[in-house]
Structure 1
Amino acid sequence: MLGAIAGDVIGSVHEHSGTKTKNFLLFVEASQFTDDTVLTVAVAERLLRGGSYVDWYHEYFHAYPEAGYGSSFIHWAEHRCREPYYSWGNGAAMRVSPIGIACNTLEEVLAQARASAEVTHNHPEGIRGAQATAAAVFLARSGYTKADIKTYIEQEFGYCLSERLDDIREHYCFDVSCQGSVPQSIIAFLEADGFEDAVRNAISLGGDADTMACIAGGIAEVFFGGVPDEIASQTLAVLDERLHGVVCEFQERFADRLTRGCT
Structure 2
Amino acid sequence: MLGAIFGDIVGSVYEFDNTHDPAFPLLIRWSRPTDDSIMTLAVAKALMETAGQDDGAIRTALVRSMQALGRQYPDSGYGGMFRQWLRSADPQPYHSFGNGSAMRVSAVGWLYPTLDATQHAARLTAEVTHDHPEGIKGAQAIAAAVFLARTGTDKAAIRSFIARKFGYNLSRTLDAIRPGYAFYETCQQSVPEAILAFLEGTSYEDVIRKAVTLGGDSDTIACMAGAIAEAYYPMPQQYREEALLRLDAPLRCIAEQYHRFYHSRKHLL
Which category of TM-score, normalised to the shorter sequence, fits these structures?
A: over 0.9
Q: 1:229 offset after TM fit, Å?
A: 1.3
Given the alignment of the two structures, is residue 46 of structure 1 paired with residue 81 of structure 2, yes or no? Answer: no
Distance 1:256 1:167, change over 3 A: farther
Percent of counterpart pairs with the same letter?
46
What is the letter of the counterpart of residue 113 of structure 2? N
- Residue 253 (structure 1) shift: 2.2
Q: Which of 228, 242, 247 matches 2:236?
A: 228
Query: Which residue number corresponds to residue 261 of structure 1?
Result: none
Counterpart of 1:62 in structure 2 is: 71
Equivalent of 1:210, from 194, 201, 219? 219
Matched-pair contact (CA < 8 Å) for 1:88–1:122: yes
Match of 2:54 in 1: none
Distance 2:265 2:20 in 1: 34
**1:112 equivalent in alignment to 2:157:** no
Match of residue 21 from structure 1: 21
Residue in 2 that maps onto 1:36: 36
The one-letter amino acid paired with 1:241 is A
Q: Distance in 1 between matches of 2:108 and 2:219?
A: 19
Q: How far 1:130 moved relative to its partner? A: 0.3
Among candidates 117, 124, 134, match of residue 133 of structure 2: 124
Deviation at 1:59, TM superposition (A): 0.9
- Number of matched pairs: 257
Does residue 250 of structure 1 match 2:269? no
* CA distance in structure 2 between the partners assigned to 1:255 and 1:186 by the alignment: 26
Give the RMSD, CA atoms, in angstroms. Answer: 1.3
Q: Aligned partner of 1:147: which letter?
A: A
Classify 1:256/1:145 alpha carbon distance in 2 versus 1 (closer, same or farther; 3 Å). farther
CA drift of 1:80 comes to 3.4
Give the Å deviation of 1:201: 0.5
Q: Structure 2-normalised TM-score?
A: 0.93
Superposition deviation, residue 252 in structure 1: 2.4
Distance 1:81 1:146 in 2: 42
Question: What whole-Å deviation, never above 9, does each CA across 1:13-33 have from its counterpart, x for those lacking one?
Answer: 000212222121111000110
TM-fit CA distance, 1:35 = 0.4
Moved more, 87-96 or 59-68: 59-68
- Paired position in structure 1 for 2:10: 10
| Cα deviation 1:21-79 (Å, max 9, x = unaligned) | 21211110001100000000001101111242111111111111111101100011112
Which of 240, 247, 255 is residue 239 of structure 1 equivalent to?
247
Structure 1 segment 151-170 matched on structure 2, within 5 A: 151-170=160-179
- Structure 1 contact 58–80 (Cα < 8 Å) conserved: no
Indicate the larger mover: 145-154 or 231-240.
Answer: 231-240
Is the partner of 2:255 in helix, strand or coil? helix
